[in-house]
A = this chain, B = another copy of it.
């Protein structure tokens, strides 16, 4: 597949568009597409194409794209699904480099649809980039192109880009965003993503000069690994705002029948967000609120919030919402508190953060003094104001004749704007719905006007405490990454390539599950410290091996049928003498024979008994969309019960390895607990990096489990391990 992204320009700035399926009926999708372009003011050439009819909206209808006399940049295809491949082939013939397939009825709807979509994929490989199928097209004010329906969308552009698989939501999110003041660089409804996918669009928009923020509604990903890599490479450059849906069981099933998407598991996506620092969005409101925030505050804002409230209850609600969102509400400096004390009445106020100014209608000078005091406090990154700005009608209701006049209200609104400009400190305003009855609609209108006024001066306005702090936390997530060096020192170990033990195990071809001895040989070669382990086929051999590697030893059954060896009496620990080894050998064999009569017994592994330490686990599994996931956590038999584990998408950076170790609860054990010395965390980080590098270089690995790893203050050692390889790869 051609992954060049330069050709994506044609989807946003086409000089000519052929609309295929534009019939004389004005209600046809094709005719509506033309109408939308005309309404929007598209200035390029438009060609209508349909199997019949003469003219639509003043445009001659061509029978096929081949009949069009000029060159065409972009074909927009709106015909029933079964005709799409034929039309795409004619586009290739006409050397049209780009096509949007708006038609539905592909992989989202059964076997026949999947076959048709596969046909599109194959045609695209012949030299045409395809967006869709099952989509609404693109909107780009600078290019004069719009989605359908979107003829009335603003021609004014902005810095927000949006991509959405769902056509309905590409229109729905964009449409709702306009009312909040958001303006877009580019919007792409890319449907089933059979050719142009999320990774292409992310790469393109990351380089797009008009785009300052990348936002997306994602049902699934087509190329998770590439999407991940691009997002990670661009970490801290532009905000990546992702509303990833389908993370629940029911949601995932629904995504499959909607855009044929594999939604992916929440464990993987959790790792994705941690590693790329993309902003995780949970609702449409949060997506819009976050984009409102970035529209006003392009590089986000810091975490340290001052809340200024006209009334006490809001300080409690606000503080809860602030802390729940992961933001901080630091104490003001003594100087700030003194300044506040000087301007606020003593009763019914609080000069601490969150600040209660008591009166929801403060005198102008008082509000100005309060905001200036807070804005000049070095402990504060952002000021959030609530319950101070109301509609005049609400003010009258609360305060009767004490309510401000229209003129005073106007002056009041100036204050945060002038303080923000003077101190260059972000200000955010919470403006709630006071009354929501049919008869109160004028309040809502006034609220929207105040919102727009503040927005036009770079102050985002939010409807509730929860929404404000959720958006601010998202903004702070980006701010933390700006200017940080991108952590892309991916560890590649030369030891991880050309693993002869792995080649040998594959050639033996005994099965997909490699035994402990094979697995540890492979890991040892990959640079991972393992306890020395040798297989004994007889009691005598076991004694000889023990004497060679040194007592005490551990003995474990080796059998492809037995995974949980201790459950069947297949493990003996702490054997200190030759006699104990002999006895253990017999015990193991007889116990396994009794418990698992059908097991093929290959022998008994004899290994050094590791000193006691903290038992940990490292694992790797293959995710169908993102490649390897690496796991780290508390090991031993409790791993399944307690699930104190962290995951990251491979390849790991040093930062990934460091963070995943610090994420698990048992990190407290590793740091040194109850007077124990801390364990060698560098050795664990190194082991994680080696495992990541090893699986990346050996894609035949399907699953890898090192459990337990025993960690000490001076290193760590893998005591047991198993590897599962891909069946198809070993059948050669």
- Using a CB–CB cutoff of 8 Å, the interface residues on chain A facing chain B are 27, 32, 81, 104-105, 108-109, 149, 166, 168-169, 172, 175-176, 178-180, 217, 219, 245-251, 253-255, 257-259, 282-285, 311-324, 329, 346-348, 350, 352, 354, 356, 397-398, 400-402, 433-438, 440-441, 444-445, 448-449, 452, 464-466, 564, 567, 634, 637-638, 640-644, 665-666, 668-669, 673-675
Contact = CB atoms under 8 A, between A and B. Distances in A.
Given A172-B434, A642-B665, 6 more contacts: A149-B398, A166-B313, A172-B313, A253-B319, A254-B318, A441-B445
Contacts of A108: 312
A12 B306 CA distance: 40
Contacts of A105: 347-348
A364 to B, nearest CB: 20
A634 B252 CA distance: 34
Contacts of A315: 254, 257-258
Closest 4 CB pairs of A and B: A179-B437, A258-B312, A166-B313, A251-B320
A176 B27 contact: no
Contacts of A172: 313, 434
Contacts of A246: 316, 319-320
A176 B175 CA distance: 27
Q: Which of the listed residues A32, A314, A401, A465 has the most CB atoms from chain B within 10 Å of its own CB?
A: A314
A313 B168 contact: yes
Contacts of A324: 248
- If over half of A's interface residues share one DSSP class (helix, strand or loop), that class is named, otherwise mixed; here it is helix
A179 B401 CA distance: 24
A668 B644 contact: no
A319 B567 CA distance: 40
Contacts of A320: 245-248, 250-251
B176 A435 contact: yes
Contact of A564 (B178, B348, B674): B674
A687 to B, nearest CB: 21
A397 B673 CA distance: 64
B245 A317 contact: yes
Contacts of A665: 641-643
A265 to B, nearest CB: 14
A249 B314 CA distance: 15
Contacts of A257: 312, 315, 350, 352, 356
B251 A311 contact: no
